[in-house]
Amino acid sequence: MFVSKALGVNEENHLTIGGMDCVELAKEYGTPLYVFDENEIRGNMRIYADNLKKHYGDNGLILYASKAFCCKKMYKIAKEEGLGIDVVSGGELYTAVSSGFPTEKIYFHGNNKTKDELILALNSGVGRIVVDNSFELNMLNDLAGEMGKKADILFRIKPGVDAHTHDFIKTGQIDSKFGVALENGEATEIIEEATKLSNVNLVGFHCHIGSQIFDLEPFLSTAEVMMGFIKEVKEKFGITISELNLGGGFGVRYVESDDPISYDKYMEAVSRKIHELSKKHNLPLPKILMEPGRSIVASAGITLYTVGNIKEIKDVRTYLSVDGGMGDNPRYILYNAEYDFEIANKAGDKKSETVTVAGKCCESGDLLGENVPLQKAQPGDILAVLTTGAYNYSMASNYNRIPKPAAIFVKDGTSKVVIKRETYADIMKNDA
Ligand SMILES: *Cc1c(COP(=O)(O)O)cnc(C)c1O
C-alpha cells in the first residue's frame, strides 16, 4: 500500500514506521521531524553486500555514499554492517573519522578538493583518494611527498554513457564537471602523467554515471567501457588496474509509478558482466566497488510536519502549509522531485482531496508537492512526506534562519535522537 515496506497503518488509523506510531513520535519529539527505520537501512545495506558476495565473491566492497545522509550514527551502522564509505568533503571525512570509522575503507571523492582537505585525507589515512583532474593529481603528489607518504589513488573517469535521468544528476557524459573523459584522450593523458609521479600509486578507476537510474543497461554499458579501458591501459602502459569502482545511482521508488529494478538483479548482472569481460580481455578479475547512497536510506526515512493554515483559493488551488519546507527538503525546488504524502493521523482514509503542499519560507517556490492527492486535512494534523531519507537532511539549510529538524531512529519498538533539533542559539552561535 505504501511506497516503502517500512510503513504501515495501525488500529488507530495512524501511519507507522518500523512499527511505531508516527503521531506519537511527532508528539514526543516535535515537528518537523526526520524519522528513520534503522532496520530498513540495515536491510538495504545487506541486500547489496550479500548479493555482491553471492555473485562476485569476496573481492568486492559496497561503499555507502554518505552524502545521501551523513551523521555519526550512519557511519556507525555502515561500520557494523561491514561496508566501506565514500565521502566528498572534509566535513564528511571529519564526521566519519570522529565516529571511529575504519579509515582504510574510506574513499575520498570530489571535483575540487582543497589543499586542506587533501592534507586531512593523508593525515587520517583514507584508503583511496579518487583523483578528479591533473591539478589535483599534482597537488596531491606534492603534499604526499612533503608528508613522506604515498597515496593510493583511483581516477574518476567519464565513460560517456547516457544514464537517462534528470540533467542535474547526470554525471557520466563528456560535458560534466566530474572527472576526465575517455573519448578525447584526457583519461590516457592523466595516467601518463601519474606514471611520472613518485608519491601516488594508481590502483584503479572510478566512474559514476548519475543518480535515480532505473535501467540496468547503462550500468552494463559502463562496465563494458571501463573494462575495455582497463585492457587498453594494460597494453599501453603495462599497468594492471586492480580496482574498478562502478559508482552508485540505483533508483528508488518515490511514488507508485516508479519502478526500480531490484538491487540483487543489478549485483547479479554486473557481476556476470565483469566475469565475462575479464575472461574476454584476459584480465585478472578486478576488485569491484559500488556506491549506493539514495537506495540505502531513501526508503527508510520520512518527514513529519504539523499542518498549519489551509488556504483554499476558489477555482485556483488549495495551499496546505506546513511548519518546514525547502529548508529541510530542497528537492522539490531543485528537481521538482515527486513524493507521496499522508495525513499520519488519518493514514487509512481515502485520499479525497488534491492539494499543494507549501513550506513556511519566504519564497513562492517553497513547495513540497503540487496537486497531490491527500486525505481531508485540518490544522494540527500531522503530515508525513514519504521516502525522504536521502538528500533531505544532507541538503538542508537554515534559510530564513529556520532551525534544522531533529532526526530520530526507530528500531524494534524504541526510538532515539541521532541528530538533535537545532535551537535559535545554535543558528546564532557563529555570529560575531
Ligand atoms: C552521489 C554519488 C553516489 C551515490 O549516488 P546515489 O544516487 O545516491 O546512489 C555514489 N558515488 C558518487 C561519486 C557520487 O557522487
The residue with cell 488507530 is: 12
Nearest protein CA to atom 15 of ligand 1, as residue: 208
Domain end residue (candidates: 276, 297, 318): 297
CA of 251 to the centre of ligand 1 (A): 11
Strands (E), 199-349: 200-206, 243-245, 287-290, 301-313, 317-322, 341-343
> pLDDT tens-digit profile of 149-182?
999 999 999 998 877 666 666 677 888 899 999 9
DSSP 242: -
- The pLDDT confidence band at residue 57, using thresholds 50, 70 and 90, is very high
Pick the catalytic residue: 22, 71, 361, 362?
A: 362
Whether this prediction's pTM lies above 0.85 is answered by yes
DSSP 361: S
Other CB atoms closer than 10 Å to residue 248's CB: what's the count?
25
Which of 358, 373, 355 shows the shortest CA–CA distance to 312? 355
- Report the pLDDT value the prediction gives residue 168, as an integer from 0 to 100: 60
The dihedral region occupied by 210, where left means phi > 0, alpha psi between -120 and 50, and beta the remainder, is: left
Whether the pLDDT of residue 347 is over 80: the answer is yes
CA of 61 to the centre of ligand 1 (A): 15
Question: Are β-strands 15-17 and 180-181 bridged in parallel, bridged antiparallel, or unpaired?
Answer: unpaired
By most ligand atoms within 8 Å of CB, the mutation choice from 69, 291, 299 for ligand 1 is: 291
Residue 349 burial (10 A CB sphere; 0-12, 13-18, 19+): middle
Q: What percent of the chain clears pLDDT 90, i.e. is strictly above it?
A: 95
> pLDDT tens-digit profile of 387-428?
999 999 999 999 999 999 999 999 999 999 999 999 999 999
Average pLDDT over residues 347-357: 98
**Separation CA 430–CA 432 (nearest Å):** 6
383 belongs to a structural domain = yes
1 belongs to a structural domain = no
More confident residue, 137 or 261: 137
CATH code at 116? 3.20.20.10
Q: Is 336 within 8 Å of 58 (Cβ atoms)?
A: no
Q: 65 and 149 share a domain?
A: yes
**Separation CA 276–CA 248 (nearest Å):** 21
Q: 60 and 115 share a domain?
A: yes
Q: 281 and 417 share a domain?
A: no
Residues 6+ apart with CB under 8 A from 314: none
Q: 17 and 56 share a domain?
A: no
Question: Closest ligand 1 atom, CA of 293?
Answer: 8
- Binding pocket residue ranges, ligand 1, CB within 6 Å: 65, 67-68, 86, 109, 208, 211, 247-250, 291-295
Q: 49 and 194 share a domain?
A: yes
Reduce the DSSP state of residue 311 to 3 states and report it: strand
Q: Is 362 a catalytic residue?
A: yes
Domain end residue (candidates: 297, 327, 361): 297
CATH code at 317? 2.40.37.10
Q: 279 and 333 share a domain?
A: no
- Report the pLDDT value the prediction gives residue 173, as an integer from 0 to 100: 82
Domain end residue (candidates: 297, 328, 344): 297
Q: Is 245 within 8 Å of 291 (Cβ atoms)?
A: yes
2 belongs to a structural domain = no
Determine the structural domain holding residue 347 and report its residue range.
7-30+300-428
**Separation CA 291–CA 76 (nearest Å):** 17
In total, how many domains does the chain have?
2
Residues 6+ apart with CB under 8 A from 240: 234, 283, 284
E strand or H helix that includes residue 156: strand 151-158
Q: 287 and 319 share a domain?
A: no
DSSP 205: E
- The pLDDT confidence band at residue 79, using thresholds 50, 70 and 90, is very high
CA of 157 to the centre of ligand 1 (A): 14
Q: 360 and 388 share a domain?
A: yes
Q: 179 and 235 share a domain?
A: yes
CA of 64 to the centre of ligand 1 (A): 9
Q: 218 and 360 share a domain?
A: no
> pLDDT tens-digit profile of 230-254?
999 999 999 999 999 999 999 999 9
218 belongs to a structural domain = yes
Q: What is the pLDDT of the chain when averaged over all its residues?
A: 96
By most ligand atoms within 8 Å of CB, the mutation choice from 44, 86, 254 for ligand 1 is: 86
Helix, strand, coil percentages for the chain (3-state, nearest 5): 35, 25, 40
- Report the pLDDT value the prediction gives residue 169, as an integer from 0 to 100: 63
Q: Is 307 within 8 Å of 385 (Cβ atoms)?
A: no
Reduce the DSSP state of residue 194 to 3 states and report it: helix
- Report the pLDDT value the prediction gives residue 167, as an integer from 0 to 100: 65
Reduce the DSSP state of residue 61 to 3 states and report it: strand
CA of 250 to the centre of ligand 1 (A): 9
**Separation CA 367–CA 380 (nearest Å):** 19
DSSP 143: H
Question: Closest ligand 1 atom, CA of 294?
Answer: 8
Question: Closest ligand 1 atom, CA of 250?
Answer: 9
Q: 253 and 344 share a domain?
A: no
Residues 6+ apart with CB under 8 A from 47: 263, 264
Question: Closest ligand 1 atom, CA of 212?
Answer: 7
> pLDDT tens-digit profile of 284-300?
999 999 999 999 999 99
Q: 84 and 229 share a domain?
A: yes
